[in-house]
A and B are shown apart, each in its own frame.
Chain A
Amino acid sequence: MRPETETELAELVAGAAGPLRIIGGGTRDIGRPVNGEVLSVAGLTGVELYEPGALTLVARAGTPLAEIEALLATENQRLAFEPMDHRSLLGSKGVPTIGAVVAANISGPRRIQVGAARDFALGVRFVDGRGQVLKNGGRVMKNVTGYDLVKLMAGSRGTLGVLSEVSLKVMAVLEAEVTLVKRGLGAAEGVGALSAALGSPFDVSGAAHLDTTAEGETRIRLEGLAGSVAYRTKALQDGICAGWENVEGEASANLWREVRDVLPFAGVNGEVWRISVKPTDGPELSAMIAQNGVEHQAIFDWGGGLVWLLVEGAPNAGAKVIRQQVDICGGHATLVRAPEALRGRLAVFQPEPASVAAITGQIRDKYDPKGILNSGLMGP
């Protein structure tokens, strides 16, 4: 099924005889395998409104992300939350869509500074499990009219409704960028430097430590007006980052594409976990997981708080140990890349405490009473 309009989409959902598997570009197959007829949103395309002076863009959910990025570039603007492209990591093909970026709350390294996809989503239109067209939010920056279903839809991965349109806040591309790079720090030391930089007034827009090479690499990004970036670079190099090397322009951008898309784990055997914890817990978490027998490589983004783990050869992708350790420090872990059979057996998303699961279960029942929308995708 590939509707071309929102009305068709609503009719298809209302008339669905059984479960549906909702996809945009199909490049991010994350979650429990879903049975059901494929409902592709890729036919709902087109930018409906773009007002550079109001920093707003409204597009149908199936609009290719690349098309939106190209349009924004003509006005020197961008999606500031830096959505990850999963194709290299997951080995998927296809065309990422803007709807999926919102539906899965996909953000990148700049999330630590400016916020996630959910923070830039101003409004949504969607079709719920009854086939009802609904809207929430709008196209203005500040809007507290009624409940914020935009946040609820962002990250619900098609389990509450099928997005038909999203409106987003966009931002200017900044004039200059510099990355400060240091090799040879251990994870704890590297993340310590990231914390110090993020706690400085120098407006860090990327903070990552990669443990994927023998010596490790720690990176701090500064963006803004050229004079300001130069000043802040020097300020950091005079203190927290004494002796760090600078990388500028396109070379700097490449370093962050590597972090954003988790490229060190692309095309390499093994399962990949994505874990969100308190930043200073990242290195300790990784050490405890290793101590408990699950060998891995780690990339720490978001100042240490976003931990990507590549696990190879551990039974069940090391799920037991990893879940145990994440429970100890608090946070959540998602098994982003694993063979379908394994994702069928294991909880892919963080199991919720019973009190929270009772609420989210009922929310799903309210929006998808027949249980036909990506049923079980986010399930335990």
Chain B
Amino acid sequence: MHMPPSDPTILARKPQIVARLQAVLPKGAVLHDPAETRAYECDALAAYRCPPLCAVLPGSTDEVAAVMRICFEEGVPVVPRGAGTSLAGGALPTEDSVILGVARLNEVLETDYDNRFIRVGAGRTNLAVTGAVEADGFFYAPDPSSQLACVIAGNIAMNSGGAHCLKYGVTTNNLMGVTMVMADGEVVEFGGPHLDAGGLDVLGLICGSEGQLGIVTEATLRILAKPEGARPVLIGFDNSEVAGACVSDIIQAGILPVAIEFMDRVCIRASEAHARSGYPDCEAMLIIEVEGSEVEITDQLERIIAIARRHNPIELRESESEEESARIWLGRKSAFGAMGQINDYMCLDGTIPVSELPYVLRRIGEMSVEFGLDVGNVFHAGDGNMHPLILYDANKPGDLEKCEAFGAEILKLCVEVGGCLTGEHGVGVEKRELMHTQFTDPDIEAQMRLKDVFDPGWLLNPAKVFPLEASRARRSG
């Protein structure tokens, strides 16, 4: 993975730039000592790190605007950062860039139950959005696994999903409006508590633009009334392909669970060692959750279980208590961390048509042998969003490179069968150079033209998303 060379003229002007930023921000909101900025050198794609020029932590939209005006005038690249949980390197800085962290913008600004929305500072964590409304029976639907830490700004940048988006959709389907500071410091509102756009759907473009079009400082989010109850069922199979076929049959039967999660033996064992959820030791396991009233839960589970039985499961267990449900989910949610106990891993995020699950799982198994690296699979099976975790040893020379090559092959396979490189983590730096496998040059050019509109100088998170060669002329322009 390469990053473009830093601009020496910016590095030389560091003292002036820091002084100008300090003049518009409160004390302590500009971090410029390398010891202070260490925490901002990388995000959750920790294999890559780089110290930024400095990091700023503004506390209001006006302060963000002031920072952006200065960076615009100085020609300094800005890397927006939420909580730094990106798995794609979305918040990875370069030496000549200012990290703009929005974590201090975390207030609830407005809650409106009659109209079912909440307006929050974009630095509020995902879980704290639900936290602000759950006592009144509401929740915010998108639930990325990192929801305890990740913030709404990052969710918007990457159009994050989660386990329950099978029913409720991803961020873009739950985002109603944003306040955004443009590259030159202008503050613009898009959308609001009404539905849909009156003209072009610019909000739809902003969501998922990986911090390349502006800095989102406030968001209006759709909240929903919490269902009366929810219950998961665990289904174990001695064969991954059969599990895949079971998923497809459930969906085709017209049942809409809120989540269908898949784990293979590698992940089941890792997770069991860690969370002790009582998972069966089998080749493939599904966690299927349904929700609603007791009548609805019972009815849906009966239908799901009938379909599952046709696929000869080796274990079939309906949760019998809240506590058991929580334990079942704990195992799934801690799967990534548990894999990390075994070794270093790289988490992929390709999406495939659900019908291709059996074939793709088989191919990943074959490639695992070819590359000599173990893979665990844990993913959102209902929507085909896979998360193969490739295990490698960062201390072993050449292992990371081998892992990257393996990962690239898996992602190419996803595209080949009609899927895509990333379902919810984003392109960042990680999949930047693979964009050509999914898009033609004109497709990429068409996307870059939109960045030209919002950020003509290419100062916002410039070395991300697009292959470096494709964006070079613009970045150096």
Contact = CB atoms under 8 A, between A and B. Distances in A.
B293 A118 contact: no
Contacts of A75: 252
A173 B431 CA distance: 38
Interface string A143-179: 1111111111011100110000000000111110000
B423 interface: yes
Interface of A: 51-56, 75-77, 105, 107, 111-112, 115-116, 118-119, 128, 132-136, 138-152, 154-156, 159-160, 171-175, 195, 198-201, 203, 224-225, 227-228, 230-232, 235, 276-280, 302, 305-306, 330-334, 349-350, 352-353, 355-356, 359-360, 362-363, 366-367, 378
A151 to B, nearest CB: 2
Nearest to B136: A199
B46 interface: no
Of the candidates A128, A154, A159, A356, the one having the most CB atoms from chain B within 10 angstroms of its own CB is: A356
A140 B418 contact: yes
B427 interface: yes
B201 A154 contact: yes
A225 B205 contact: no
A111 B384 CA distance: 24
A278 B249 CA distance: 39
Contacts of A139: 353, 418
A281 B443 CA distance: 41
B454 A111 contact: no
A305 B418 contact: no
A346 B152 CA distance: 39
A135 B446 CA distance: 9
B355 A51 contact: yes
Interface string B278-310: 000000000000001101100110000000000
Nearest to B421: A145
Nearest 3 pairs of A and B residues by beta carbon = A151-B204, A332-B198, A172-B254
Contacts of A366: 449-450, 452-453
Contacts of B438: 138, 145-146
Contact of B201 (A55, A152, A224, A333): A152
A200 to B, nearest CB: 6
B383 to A, nearest CB: 4
Interface of B: 112-116, 137-138, 158-159, 161, 165-166, 169-170, 172-173, 186, 188-190, 192-205, 207-209, 225-228, 248-249, 251-256, 292-293, 295-296, 299-300, 351-355, 380, 383-385, 418-427, 431, 435, 438-440, 442-444, 446-447, 449-454, 465
A132 B446 CA distance: 10
Contacts of A136: 443, 446-447
A338 to B, nearest CB: 17
24 contacts: A54-B355, A55-B251, A138-B419, A141-B166, A142-B385, A145-B421, A146-B439, A146-B444, A172-B254, A175-B254, A199-B138, A199-B225, A201-B292, A203-B227, A224-B296, A227-B295, A331-B192, A352-B198, A355-B188, A356-B202, A359-B188, A360-B200, A362-B453, A366-B453
Contact of B296 (A155, A228, A278, A378): A228
Nearest to A139: B418
B82 to A, nearest CB: 15
A227 B199 contact: no
A276 B198 contact: yes
Given A119-B172, A133-B442, A280-B114, 10 more contacts: A53-B354, A105-B196, A105-B201, A119-B169, A147-B451, A149-B450, A160-B200, A173-B254, A201-B292, A278-B193
Nearest to B439: A146
B446 A128 contact: yes
Nearest to B170: A142
B384 A147 contact: no
A98 B259 CA distance: 29
A378 B451 CA distance: 22
A105 B112 CA distance: 26
Contact of A142 (B202, B423, B446): B423
B200 A152 contact: yes
B405 to A, nearest CB: 20
